[in-house]
Amino acid sequence: MASEEQNESTITQAPFGKTPDGREATLYTLTNKNGVTVKITNYGGIVASILAPDKAGNIEDIVLGYDQVYGYIPNDPYFGALIGRFGNRIAKGKFYLDGKEYTLATNNGPNHLHGGPAGFHTVFWDVEELPQQNALKLTYTSQDGEEGYPGTLTTTVVYTLTDDNSLLIAYEATTDKPTPVNLTNHSYFNLSAGKTQDVLSHVATIDADRYTVVDDSFIPTGELRPVADGPMDFTSPKVIGTEIEDVEGNGYDHNYVINDYDGSLKKIASVYEPTSGRVLEVESTLPGVQFYTGNFLNGSLTGKGGQVYIQRAGFCLETQDFPDAPNQPSFPNTILRPGEIYKATTVYSFSTREK
Ligand code: GAL
């Protein structure tokens, strides 16, 4: 099986079980010539598995999730999901746009989180296979008024698995009325493939000198605070667990302000796991990244292969615009207008190193 010339990139499909309303989900498997495999379902556009080699060549699954679609219903942690229309929080589910107030569905205390209870993570996406590029093109049309948002928003997300072991995610959206847009993917990584039950021994680097300070309902105050030398500082590699208890709140769950943001695709973060030698590098065109250490996981969910997801079993690097941007005039604009195209690209690359 592992002969050198055998490995061509392929796309296959298999049934992934039914949702409670009786719809069949499909699991698409992208494999590249190195045997790296990414599995994606049309339900929620969820990345259900990423199989990547460790330094000894063992190919194992490095994301949290479930073996069947029903595991993802409800998907309270948003494992692997596409998030839209607006990732992260919008304060009290309200915003003003062109002089009019809009009210969104709320699902996180008083706030709107990750597009609302029926956000993009809960819908069936149309999937087109693009075998030439080893890619899947997912499309979803969100109707005017969905979750309270104005305008019909058509979103496409292209997931490409490259032969240099990168998962490239290209987002595009257009609208017929002005509307906020902030798309992301909510994969939780554990680069040890679950051998370390939590991610506290992973070593993270984030190219951000500042982060957006939040209040106790996770809404930005507007302040961009220097990471200084404290627990928030990942400008040079740091073991995630070293200072996590000194972080305000419940662990890392903060939007980092990427240095020298100019909309170009550039490296924004990397994470290394010492026992497996696996390295995740993240590139993005976006101005922020939510570094979230799975603080709300508590051992009540059992995922793929019977793995119990304890607190901090995975970490997320959700590339994004800033939380609550529709209510924060000093933050980069997140309003998409008719005739414009929202575009964002994020690349997750998988490699290994000895030390
Ligand atoms: C993160 C968010 C957390 C939590 C999590 C889902 O993106 O920052 O506060 O809501 O999603 O459990």
What is the structure's pLDDT at 165? Answer: 98
Lowest mean pLDDT among 3-7, 117-121, 217-221, 344-348: 3-7
CA of 292 to the centre of ligand 1 (A): 7
Q: Whose CA is nearest to atom 12 of ligand 1?
A: 77
Residue 132 pLDDT greater than 70, yes or no:
yes
Q: Which residues are catalytic?
A: 186, 318
Residue 187 CB less than 6 A away from ligand 1: no
Alpha-carbon distance of 162 to 308, in angstroms, equals 31
Which atom of ligand 1 lies nearest, measured to the CA of 78?
6
Report the mean per-residue pLDDT for the chain: 96
User: Which of 186, 256, 269, 179 lies closest to 224 in space, CA to CA?
Assistant: 256
Determine the 3-state secondary structure of 112 from DSSP.
Answer: strand
* Domain 10-352 falls under CATH 3.40.50.300: no
Alpha-carbon distance of 142 to 303, in angstroms, equals 30
> Which of 82, 189, 292, 309 gets mutated to test ligand 1 (max ligand atoms within 8 A of its CB)?
292
Residue 47 pLDDT greater than 50, yes or no:
yes
Residue 146 CB less than 6 A away from ligand 1: no
Q: With bands split at pLDDT 50, 70 and 90, how would you rate the model's confidence at 62?
A: very high
Q: With bands split at pLDDT 50, 70 and 90, how would you rate the model's confidence at 7?
A: low
CA of 186 to the centre of ligand 1 (A): 9
User: Which of 78, 315, 57, 82 lies closest to 205 in space, CA to CA?
Assistant: 315
Residue 72 CB less than 6 A away from ligand 1: no
Return the DSSP state at 86: B
Residue 292 CB less than 6 A away from ligand 1: yes
- Dihedral angle sign, alpha carbons of residues 141, 144, 148, 153: positive
Q: Whose CA is nearest to atom 5 of ligand 1?
A: 77
Phi, psi for 334 (deg, rounded to 5): -125, 10
Q: Which residues touch 161 (CB under 8 Å, ≥6 apart)?
A: 9, 30, 31, 32, 36, 37, 38, 134, 135, 167, 168
CA of 98 to the centre of ligand 1 (A): 29
CA of 173 to the centre of ligand 1 (A): 23
Contact 37, 29 (CB under 8 A): yes
What is the structure's pLDDT at 216? Answer: 92
Residue 324 CB less than 6 A away from ligand 1: no
pLDDT, tens digit (0-9, with 9 covering 90-100), for 284-329: 999 999 999 999 999 999 999 999 999 999 999 999 999 999 999 9
Return the DSSP state at 125: P
CA of 314 to the centre of ligand 1 (A): 12
Residue 318 CB less than 6 A away from ligand 1: yes
Alpha-carbon distance of 8 to 2, in angstroms, equals 11
Determine the 3-state secondary structure of 154 from DSSP.
Answer: strand
What is the structure's pLDDT at 2? Answer: 44
Residue 78 CB less than 6 A away from ligand 1: yes
pLDDT, tens digit (0-9, with 9 covering 90-100), for 69-115: 999 999 999 999 999 999 999 999 999 999 999 999 999 999 999 99
What is the structure's pLDDT at 345? Answer: 98
User: Largest Cα–Cα distance of the chain, in whole Å?
Assistant: 63
User: Which of 252, 229, 249, 254 lies closest to 240 in space, CA to CA?
Assistant: 252
What is the structure's pLDDT at 6? Answer: 42
**DSSP readout, 290-304?**
EEE--TT--S-EE-G
Q: What is the mean pLDDT of residues 15-24?
A: 96
